[in-house]
Structure 1
Amino acid sequence: MGIPVDVISLYRKACEHDTALSGYYNRNVRVESDDGPVMVRVPSAGAETMDLAIWPEAALLDAIGPHVPSAPRLMHANIDPPFQIQEFVEGALLDDAHPAGAALPDAVLDDIAAFFSQLLAVPVGELPAAPSDWPKDGDTASFAELLLRLVRSIRDRGDQSTARLYRDLGVPEDPCGLLARRVTGLSTRPFRLLHADIHRKNVILGADRTVFLDWELALCGDPVYDLADHLHKMSYLPAEDERITAAWAQVAPPECRAGWEEDLRFYRAYERMKSAVVDTVRWARLIALAAEPQERRAYAVELADKLDAARPCWIPASDTVLTPDDIERAVDRWSATGGTG
């Protein structure tokens, strides 16, 4: 059976759009169909892998539809060419309505807590099959090892100039050394569905419901990691951070809370360390390509903060704090050797 002509027409319209709400791995384009607006989701070409991913997003959305009303509804999935058509959710992005640093309304915090409750309640047996080498249910140590292995692979990528940039900025060859010592001490918890990318640009405040977007990085793993990843990416105000943490503990079943507070600290340290490794190159590109000195300095300050937050996670420990000037000079050396890639 062929692909419906109207579906291909929507895809072609999406490809013709110059503007789109683009994430790192996908372009999202609002397109008008005969029945109203839809969201056409097309993979971004050449996106370098920076995260774990185990399922086709469409297969996951199809599986969780009956269990997670806060996920967007999948309307069509195509293999060749690859694209999805999802419901278009009218509303404001959380990042636009309430950016980092602004207090969130109680209703939004309640919706986030309810979303975690939905995730924790999804029957694992109804999820798509995980890869054959994926950690067995409850093997939190092996799950954490996968996370560390990912960061090590990112650190090892690139040419000699990128390796020098990492050295100049104090990122050790094995940025996971200290955390690796703590993996075997993680408590055993049953695996659950993880969104693994809940941040302000992936939440839409709709008229009748809050919707959580972008499921391409969803995993089956340690539910405490999902909380840590979310807290890191949301940059909550301190009281909000405490409230969401307490709300998660309230909705999580007892078996998912075994040793969770200590392990939450482990995963939050991991997120700081991963952010520094990934963003060293991302932010170096932004600094090198910045059009104005103040823009360049702002990115350098941000990268300095990321590196400073990660430093306690590294071996050998260092008391050296890089200034924005240090970072700009290191980026200049990197870009002079073709490092902007």
Structure 2
Amino acid sequence: MTRGVAAHTAPVGADRLEGPLKGYHHQTFAVRLDPGSPLAREFNWLKLREPRPGVFWYDMRYFPSEDLLMRRLQGRLPRVPRVVRYPARDGVLTFAEFIEGVTLDRLPAAAVRVPDRLLRQVEELFAAMAAVDTGPLIPEGRADCDCPAGAAPPGDRDAAGFLHELLHFTVVHIYLPHRKRLGGLFEDLGVSDGTLTGLPDRAPGLTAREPRLLHGDLHRRNLVVDRWGALWTIDWELALIGDPLYDLATHLHLMDYLPDQELDMVRRWRRAVGEAAARGLEADLPHYRDFKRVQSVCTDVIRGAARLAEAPGRAQLRRAATAVHRALVAAREPLGMEKVLPAVAVEAAFEAWLASHGCRVS
């Protein structure tokens, strides 16, 4: 059974099998269908994907079934991979279409500046998501947070409540489960325990905006350009129903646009979603961008430590330290840090943490 589309690139004209394709949560392969296959009536390439065992999820997930969500989005959004259900002897199997093309991060024409023709299609996607009636999409059960301090149902949540839930999830479901194992690593990096655990209580007030459908992870590896120049949006497993401004903030955080293109995308987003959904943009966008910076610190520290524990090599140590140092510099203000440790000190903190677990950097 498939569960959406992982970040991938498949060369057009590949023979029969592509993979494993790059993805954090899943092991993914693309299979070219034989013309005689019944599924070949639906599409040319099939995506096969299995969850990676033991993978930790760093983001909220609202929809228990990505397949079901993508089926419901057919005809409502432009260029979303098709999902079909096919009867089998033991029940019904679900298959997802694999899009032949190149992800935006590997498109030479978009290495520095994203072409306007593609920005127009991102704007079209934002407009279509803003127009979706979210009522029929609200799931009966959540895919992740169901603790008492979690959020109200998506349809009842205002923008401030949504941001509070994001902070709650980052603290309760990302930071706290790893606090004991990391044993003071955050403090050694200059981030106090009280600063992180107090984030939900310091959530700012935001302008009221109605919840909309959000992709939740709209970055270059989740945008595929096919041979005709059409832009497809893949990987809907982190989709949410919430404040539409969060989707813009996440997109800007992950895309790393040049400054003038970032301003252009903000203008395009406002035009796409309409004035009601963009109300309070100037005041509230910085709050969401601060959240993404803080979230990146938590994610990069935890992920860097985990990878380093698996492969305690000097190159892995430097990669982890470089990513965390960059995240700390970006999050210095929202974390209230007077100064950020130099990269060499970040590397030393990771090495000391590794030594405390009986490991030495090879």
Report if TM-score (shorter chain) is over 0.5: yes
- Asked whether the 8 Å contact 2:19–2:28 carries over to 1, the reply is no
- Asked whether the 8 Å contact 1:165–1:334 carries over to 2, the reply is yes
1:69 partner amino acid: P
Counterpart of 2:61 in structure 1 is 53
Unaligned runs of 5+ in 1: 4-16
1:246 partner amino acid: R
For 1:158 and 1:111, the matched residues in 2 are separated by 39
Does the alignment pair 1:122 with 2:143? no
Does the alignment pair 1:330 with 2:349? yes
Helix, strand or coil for the counterpart of 2:153? coil
Does the alignment pair 1:95 with 2:115? no
- Asked whether the 8 Å contact 1:192–1:220 carries over to 2, the reply is yes
Shift of 1:138: 5.1
1:24 partner amino acid: Y
Structure number having the greater helix percentage: 1
TM-score (norm 1): 0.85
Moved more, 155-164 or 239-248: 155-164
Choose the corresponding residue for 1:248, options 269, 279, 299.
Answer: 269
1:284 partner amino acid: A
Shift of 1:307: 0.8
For 2:109 and 2:338, the matched residues in 1 are separated by 32
For 2:297 and 2:110, the matched residues in 1 are separated by 19
Residues 20 and 131 of structure 1: is their aligned pair in 2 closer, same or farther, counting only changes over 3 Å? same
Choose the corresponding residue for 2:50, options 36, 42, 46.
Answer: 42
Shift of 1:26: 2.4
For 1:99 and 1:52, the matched residues in 2 are separated by 33
Residues 83 and 146 of structure 1: is their aligned pair in 2 closer, same or farther, counting only changes over 3 Å? farther
Moved more, 29-38 or 231-240: 29-38
**Percent of pairs with identical residues:** 32
User: What count of residue pairs does the alignment treat as equivalent?
Assistant: 321
Counterpart of 2:226 in structure 1 is 206
1:242 partner amino acid: L
Does the alignment pair 1:300 with 2:308? no
- Asked whether the 8 Å contact 1:197–1:218 carries over to 2, the reply is yes
Residues 339 and 275 of structure 1: is their aligned pair in 2 closer, same or farther, counting only changes over 3 Å? farther
For 2:358 and 2:297, the matched residues in 1 are separated by 17
Moved more, 245-254 or 127-136: 127-136
CA RMSD between the two structures: 2.9
Helix, strand or coil for the counterpart of 2:332? helix
Moved more, 65-74 or 218-227: 65-74
Helix, strand or coil for the counterpart of 1:141? helix
TM-score (norm 2): 0.80
For 1:339 and 1:302, the matched residues in 2 are separated by 24
Moved more, 326-335 or 22-31: 22-31
Shift of 1:282: 1.5
Choose the corresponding residue for 2:208, options 177, 184, 188.
Answer: 188
Choose the corresponding residue for 2:171, options 136, 142, 152.
Answer: 152
